[in-house]
């Protein structure tokens, strides 16, 4: 996955206003990867060394205690190596193979399980766990796979060794993920404008599928309320910030068990337009 790949997806929409088929937007959160054993960064279980992960993964903590932030990301990166795509990731890969550029996947997740399921075009609005970014030059990126960066055993070190430095600035690298912000310590999420633009592009003939998110970070409920297309919500539990009434279908189950149903809904929806004269 790369930022340029996500950007190209949006640009292609601008150039394809007369497509024969409508588009599918799949918006996913932590619930997509829960059945793969990926821990959430929020709510229950979102604790690292006794500290809420929202506190650990913050701009303030990175400035005051970078060891803590790197420790969490290093641990999660190594754990990610042992995870495998579940049926929901595979479903997104199947949609991509079937509908190509008519599918766009916007994800709040920082894991690479959709990529491992065969789709390389996801828009990761909160960053990418295996990728490091130069502190001194944000354009300098390095993907270290499932290795640690800050410290650890010799076998877990990246190819250039622990705490390798930026060749352009001499600075250390940091995880290329969006850190939680406050009014005093703010960090931009560079992919957000593209996500908002994608959601505003929804036409009545399109299909919106929302999977595994509480809707407390991105304005999912507002987007669903304003969209006039067919909309599907899949959450295991009711979310305080999302009203199921703004959706045509509510699948209250895990993403893995809902995957086949979502695939069938997409096939039926797209098939109606394809069959139209």
Look at the block and give the residue holding tokens 């009203």: 243
Q: Do 221 and 165 share a domain, yes or no?
A: no
Tokens of 98: 């079937």
Q: How far apart are CA 193 and CA 195, in angstroms?
A: 5
**Tens of pLDDT, residues 11-39:** 554 554 445 479 999 999 999 999 999 98
- Give the per-residue pLDDT at 69: 97
Please determine, for residue 6, whether its predicted confidence score (pLDDT) is greater than 80: no
* Torsion angles phi and psi, residue 132, rounded to 5: -110, 150
Q: Do 273 and 222 share a domain, yes or no?
A: yes
Give the long-range contacts of residues 73-77, CB within 8 A, separation 24 or more. Answer: 73/129, 73/149, 73/175, 73/177, 74/148, 74/149, 74/150, 74/151, 74/152, 74/156, 75/48, 76/39, 76/129, 77/129, 77/130, 77/144, 77/146, 77/147, 77/148, 77/149
Confirm whether 22 is domain-assigned: yes
**pLDDT > 90: what percent of the chain?**
80
CATH of the domain at 171: 3.30.1600
Top pLDDT among 202 and 3 is at: 202
Q: Which residues are catalytic?
A: 126
Confirm whether 209 is domain-assigned: yes
Q: Do 23 and 136 share a domain, yes or no?
A: no
pTM across the whole model: 0.91
Q: Do 170 and 272 share a domain, yes or no?
A: no
**Residue numbers of the domain that contains 31:** 1-38+85-126+188-277
- Give the per-residue pLDDT at 4: 35
**Tens of pLDDT, residues 100-113:** 999 999 999 999 99
Please determine, for residue 5, whether its predicted confidence score (pLDDT) is greater than 50: no
Q: How far apart are CA 102 and CA 119, in angstroms?
A: 13
Q: How far apart are CA 34 and CA 86, in angstroms?
A: 9
Confirm whether 183 is domain-assigned: no
**Tens of pLDDT, residues 44-98:** 568 888 899 889 999 999 999 999 999 999 999 999 999 999 999 999 999 999 9
**Tens of pLDDT, residues 178-219:** 998 854 556 778 899 999 999 999 999 999 999 999 999 999
Q: Do 223 and 89 share a domain, yes or no?
A: yes
Confirm whether 55 is domain-assigned: yes
Please determine, for residue 226, whether its predicted confidence score (pLDDT) is greater than 60: yes
């Amino acid at each position: 996955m790369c930022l340029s790949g996500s950007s190209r997806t949006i640009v292609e929409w601008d150039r394809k206003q007369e497509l024969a088929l409508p588009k599918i937007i799949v918006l996913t959160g932590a619930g997509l990867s829960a059945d793969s054993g990926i821990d959430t960064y929020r709510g229950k279980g979102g604790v690292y060394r006794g500290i809420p992960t929202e506190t650990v993964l913050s701009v303030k903590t990175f400035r005051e205690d970078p060891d803590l932030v790197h420790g969490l990301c290093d641990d999660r990166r190594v754990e990610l190596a042992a995870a495998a795509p579940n049926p929901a990731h595979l479903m997104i890969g199947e949609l991509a193979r079937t509908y190509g550029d008519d599918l766009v996947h916007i994800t709040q997740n920082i894991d690479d399980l959709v990529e491992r399921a065969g789709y390389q075009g996801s828009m990761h609005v909160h960053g990418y766990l295996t990728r490091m970014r130069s502190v001194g030059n944000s354009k300098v990126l390095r993907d270290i796979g499932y290795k640690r960066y800050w410290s650890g055993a010799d076998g877990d070190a990246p190819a250039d060794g622990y705490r390798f430095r930026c060749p352009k600035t001499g600075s250390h690298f940091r995880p290329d993920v969006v850190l939680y912000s406050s009014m005093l310590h703010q960090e931009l999420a560079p992919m957000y404008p593209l996500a908002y633009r994608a959601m505003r592009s929804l036409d009545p003939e399109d299909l919106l599928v929302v999977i595994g998110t509480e809707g407390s970070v991105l304005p999912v409920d507002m987007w669903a309320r304003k969209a006039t297309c067919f909309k599907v919500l899949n959450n295991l539990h009711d979310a305080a910030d999302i009203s199921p009434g703004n959706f045509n279908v509510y699948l209250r189950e895990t993403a893995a068990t809902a995957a086949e149903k979502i695939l069938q809904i997409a096939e039926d929806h797209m098939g109606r337009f394809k069959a139209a004269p």
